[in-house]
Structure 1
Amino acid sequence: MGKSFEALLPEHEAFIANQHIFFVGSAPLSAEGHVNISPKGHDVFRILSSTEVAYLDLTGSGNETSAHLAENGRITVMFMATQGPPQILRLYGKGRVVLQDSSEWAQLAPRFNPLPGVRQIMVVEIHEVKSSCGYSIPFYTYEGERNTLQNWAAKQGDDGLLAYWQNKNMTSMDGLPTPIGQKLSTNTM
């Protein structure tokens, strides 16, 4: 039932455009390290080409994916149909973190709607696309986005977000440095 592709096809892109949530999986190289799976909402995912995608990463209580990408780059992005025909689509690739003060940020950021609490952009070079049935995924009805994070981030302001990153986003739970952590330890963003 599963099929593999070297790149996104137009039908994959159409499927992705209709999803309201996706999941990101990453892990450190250490066998003792924690595998991380993170749900992502809002309109933050962009297809850059048939072999490259990116998502706008919003501030969160951890920064695991960022640390894992800095260490080894391995990442999987998963979409699943909760409405309509069943399907699961996984994008396997090598990711990198783009920070706000970089030249690449200036190129990528205009592709996204501005949201309070933006932390970084994750870019993924896809090496395999895999579709599978999703027959066991239940139906869920989309009711709308939660604005809790945006309200919280707007209330924090730039200085509050910076302080939060310094407190919560410098390293992974396994002690791996994050790109934000490395940047903040040398100077301020």
Structure 2
Amino acid sequence: MKVVTTRLQDLLLIEPQVFGDARGFFFESFNQRKFAELTGVTLPFVQDNHSKSARNVLRGLHYQIQHAQGKLVRVTAGEVYDVVLDIRKSSPTFGQWEGFHLSGDNKRQVWIPPGFAHGFLVLSESAEFLYKTTDYWYPEHERSIRWDDPALGIEWPLIGEPVLSGKDAAGLPLAQAEVFP
């Protein structure tokens, strides 16, 4: 497993070691001991989530204002453009975002610490997205930052209009959103 630091404080890109031959491939998608040794993250994961979305579906930018979740995210089939936004007021990278291409082929993962908002856009015909969380989902604490907030300048690789949920269409600009201290 290779851990790559990003320009956002505490956000990590993880590239697993994949063993492949004519039969297919094998890789260890998660090992608590190795993850803790390489990242310094010892938070326990308490929930796994798995979604499937069609092309041009955009989910996010989501976070929980209480019971903040750390997330270890990856794509098992298809491809997405994954976006992470630092919403920790005390962070030197507050209000900055980073984007990654995650796919079933590249098998990359992203560690998103608590205090970040997260979203993704499906680039393939469909994509299956799997993520581990460090706290449970509490719908009453979930918030959504507007995916197209002009102040953020996120460069989504869109073709046409995205497919949004009502919650995501009603997301707030970062300037009006509840954020972390």
Could you say which TM-score interval applies, normalised by the shorter chain? under 0.3
Structure number having the greater helix percentage: 1
User: Considering only CA atoms, is the larger Rg found in Structure 1 or Structure 2?
Assistant: 1
| Structure possessing the higher relative contact order (Cα contacts under 8 Å, 6 or more residues apart) | 2
- TM score, norm. by length of structure 2: 0.28
Q: As a proportion of its length, which structure holds more strand?
A: 2
